[in-house]
Amino acid sequence: MDEMTITLAQYTELNSMIKATIDGTEMFIPLDPANSHYAEILRQVEAGELTIADAD
């Protein structure tokens, strides 16, 4: 029912987290499927709505 707006997704160094802007706030998201942000990132990637850039 509620959808997040996610932009600028990029893996951090060591690929330990994803840095992304969610609903206007920059966050560091752990790669934990139980994390609601990561679950939504996975859903949007699967749907072709979001791409995660490689780490710098």
Residue closer to other proteins by CB (options 46, 51) is 46
For every residue of the chain, which 3-state class applies, written as one string? CCCCCEEEEEECHHHCEEEEEECCEEEEEECCCCCHHHHHHHHHHHCCCCCCECCC
How many residues make contact with other proteins (CB under 8 A)? 26
Among 6, 9, 29, 52, binds other proteins (CB under 8 A): 29
Binding site for other proteins (CB under 8 A): 1-2, 4-5, 12-14, 16-17, 22-23, 25-30, 32-39, 43
